[in-house]
Amino acid sequence: MKRNKIVAGNWKMHFGPKEAAEFAQSLRNNLLDTHGVSVILCPPFLALKTVFDTVNGSEIKVGAQNMHWAEAGAFTGEITGAMIRETGTEYVILGHSERRHVFGESDEWINKKVHRSLKSGLIPIFCVGEKIEEREAEKTEQVIAKQLRVGLKGLSEADMETVIIAYEPVWAIGTGLTASPEQAAAVHQFIRGAIKTLFNSDVAESTWLLYGGSVKPENTIGLLSNKDIDGALVGGASMQLESFKGIIDEAGAIE
């Protein structure tokens, strides 16, 4: 049985409300058929509501790029899951490598965010991945195992029904480098095995696993054809209409 793919676009710190709405409208106008692919747009916080209003009624969904773990409080500059949910947004990216390595977020912090996202009614896209020095030192599995163990700590099997995990090798983000289909497949297979150890085989098989790291239309089929890769978390290419639509079209063509 064919399992439909997920393609999520992370716009990072690009596109204010006006530009984001214009891009979302262009995508909606041009994406006449998603081929069963679940498309998620993740704009900056200020653009969440305008993008949601633009795509509402279509098959395109909206996700945030981060959130705080507290329900509310004295956390200047932060945003809660409830605030995000109020915009109509359904997803949130957590543990992205830039949050981990640029802003110093720990596995423990990310774990608290995952719990809060679920309590807020948001679907977390929980990111894991290794840096180039960790891969070269053959520590990829060690690093990802810890990120999974701590990041998913305290979650129930029922919680895992809505968790999406994205593997994004840090060395392939914004560099133009991409993990080969064989490299990506090996890590996704390892992640499924780790989830089986943490939970059980049913949870491992049902959890959606995405690949992120310089995904383009021309490498989509090679990456996403593997049975353990259920979709893509796309960065730069998600901000170019032709490229993003191309990735969605290619993902939908996979048997």
CATH number for the domain that contains residue 246 = 3.20.20.70
pLDDT level of residue 2 (50, 70, 90 thresholds): low
Q: Is the pLDDT of residue 246 over 90?
A: yes
Give the whole-angstrom CA distance, residue 130 versus residue 143: 6
Write the pLDDT tens digit of every residue in 70-111: 999 999 999 999 999 999 999 999 999 999 999 999 999 999
- Whether 191 is covered by a domain: the verdict is yes
- Whether 156 is covered by a domain: the verdict is yes
- Whether 179 is covered by a domain: the verdict is yes
Number of domains in the chain: 1
Residue labelled with tokens 């977020």: 105
From the candidates 98, 134, 168, 250, which is the catalytic residue? 168
- Whether 26 is covered by a domain: the verdict is yes
Query: Has 108 been annotated as catalytic?
Result: no
Nearest of 191, 188, 197 to residue 224 by alpha carbon:
188
Percent of the chain with pLDDT over 90: 90
Query: Has 168 been annotated as catalytic?
Result: yes
CB 185 within 8 A of CB 226: yes
Alpha helices in the chain (DSSP H): 17-30, 48-55, 81-86, 97-101, 107-119, 132-136, 140-151, 181-198, 201-206, 217-224, 241-253
- Whether 195 is covered by a domain: the verdict is yes
Containing structural domain, residue 13: 6-253
Write the pLDDT tens digit of every residue in 177-221: 778 899 999 999 999 999 999 999 999 999 999 999 889 999 999
Q: What is the pLDDT of residue 4?
A: 87
Average pLDDT, the chain: 95
Q: What is the pLDDT of residue 232?
A: 97
Tell me the mean pLDDT in the region 39-57.
Answer: 98
- Whether 107 is covered by a domain: the verdict is yes
CB 235 within 8 A of CB 10: yes
pLDDT level of residue 1 (50, 70, 90 thresholds): very low
Who's near 192: CB < 8 A, 6+ residues apart?
204, 205, 207, 209, 228
Model's pTM, two decimal places? 0.96
Least confident of 89-98, 142-151, 168-177: 168-177
Q: What is the pLDDT of residue 213?
A: 86
- Whether 1 is covered by a domain: the verdict is no
- Whether 92 is covered by a domain: the verdict is yes
Give the whole-angstrom CA distance, residue 109 versus residue 112: 5
DSSP for 158-202 reads TGGGS-EEEE--GGGSSSS----HHHHHHHHHHHHHHHHHHS-HH
Q: Is the pLDDT of residue 36 over 80?
A: yes
Residue 99 CA, chain-centre distance (Å), reads: 13
